[in-house]
């Protein structure tokens, strides 16, 4: 039986559309279940303790780069200690959806179930933060720029929240690379408000900002 090329293409496109919608629905459903677990743990101390313990086991491979206590082993890899659990979940889903591009991280995120996602998010959020550096000579200037350009979203103490990351105590090379990616619009980072803020900061002030943020508790 001969099948026309146009009909075959139409069928294939229909398949991709249905499959894609199903994948999106599954991802969204999984994200909702993970978020529900995190929310439930806020009023259930026993559940939160259990999930944090499970998170230590689920994140065993993450520790190779992000450290046993959420303090990165590499200056170009972010600390996860002290990040808001909702923000961690959002980033997990961003890797899964492709909104954040990193083949290695995307592969790791695909093996996690919803309970493991919630457990890892809660585990990292429970860990204390250790500043990555001592204040440098340009930290005070960086602090002024931060309050003018960044505090509205990342909070005056740079601790962030559910929608924006904690920047205080973050690894300096990671901060520097992220800021430069927003400045150059290289494709790895795309968020118009951040691009606008970093453009105002300017390349000449990036090191000052990094000195300030990486030294904060």
Q: Does pLDDT of 16 surpass 70?
A: no
Indicate the pLDDT class of residue 27, thresholds 50, 70 and 90: low
Is residue 85 within 8 A of residue 38, CB to CB? The reply is yes
pLDDT tens for 116-167 read: 999 999 999 999 999 999 999 999 999 999 999 999 999 999 999 999 999 9
Q: Does residue 37 or residue 10 have the better pLDDT?
A: 37
Give the separation between CA 101 and CA 179, rounded to whole angstroms: 16
Give the separation between CA 170 and CA 75, rounded to whole angstroms: 9
pLDDT tens for 178-189 read: 999 999 987 677
Give the separation between CA 203 and CA 43, rounded to whole angstroms: 44
Is residue 145 within 8 A of residue 206, CB to CB? The reply is no
Q: In whole angstroms, what separates CA 144 from the centre of its chain?
A: 25
Q: In whole angstroms, what separates CA 72 from the centre of its chain?
A: 14
User: What is the full DSSP assignment across 119-171?
Assistant: HHHHHHHTSPP--SS---TTHHHHHHHHHHHTHHHH-TTS---SSS---TT--
Q: Does pLDDT of 25 surpass 70?
A: no
Q: Does pLDDT of 15 surpass 70?
A: no
How high is the pLDDT of residue 30?
Answer: 66
Q: Does pLDDT of 190 surpass 80?
A: no
Indicate the pLDDT class of residue 101, thresholds 50, 70 and 90: confident
Token pair 């026993």 is found at: 46
Burial classification of residue 105, based on how many CB atoms lie within 10 Å of its CB (0-12 exposed, 13-18 middle, 19 or more buried): middle
Burial classification of residue 134, based on how many CB atoms lie within 10 Å of its CB (0-12 exposed, 13-18 middle, 19 or more buried): exposed
Distances (CA, A) of 191 to 6, 198, 202: 39, 11, 16
pLDDT tens for 147-160 read: 999 999 999 999 99
Q: In whole angstroms, what separates CA 26 from the centre of its chain?
A: 21
Q: Give the percent of the chain with pLDDT over 90.
A: 77
Residues 6+ apart with CB under 8 A from 153: 163, 164, 193
Domains of the chain listed by start with CATH number: 28-125 (1.10.760.10), 139-214 (1.10.760.10)
């Amino acid at each position: 039986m001969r099948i026309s090329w146009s009909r075959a293409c139409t069928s294939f496109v229909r398949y991709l559309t249905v499959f894609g919608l199903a994948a999106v629905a599954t991802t969204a459903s999984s994200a909702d279940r993970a978020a529900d677990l995190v929310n439930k743990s806020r009023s259930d101390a026993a559940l939160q303790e259990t999930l944090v313990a499970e998170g230590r086991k689920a994140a065993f491979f993450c520790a190779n780069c992000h450290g046993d206590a959420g303090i990165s082993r590499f200056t170009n890899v972010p600390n996860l200690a002290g990040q808001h659990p909702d923000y961690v979940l959002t980033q997990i889903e961003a890797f899964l959806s492709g909104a954040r591009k990193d083949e290695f991280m995307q592969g790791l995120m695909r093996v996690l179930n919803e309970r493991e996602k919630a457990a890892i998010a809660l585990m990292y959020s429970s860990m204390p933060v250790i500043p990555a550096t001592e204040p440098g000579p340009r930290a005070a200037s960086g602090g002024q720029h931060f309050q003018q350009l960044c505090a509205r979203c990342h909070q005056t103490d740079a601790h962030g929240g559910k929608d924006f990351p904690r920047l205080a105590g973050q690894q300096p090379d990671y901060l520097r690379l992220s800021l430069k990616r927003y400045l150059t619009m290289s494709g790895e980072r795309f968020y118009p408000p951040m691009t606008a803020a970093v453009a105002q900061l300017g390349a000449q002030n990036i090191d000052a900002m990094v000195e300030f943020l990486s030294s904060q508790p």
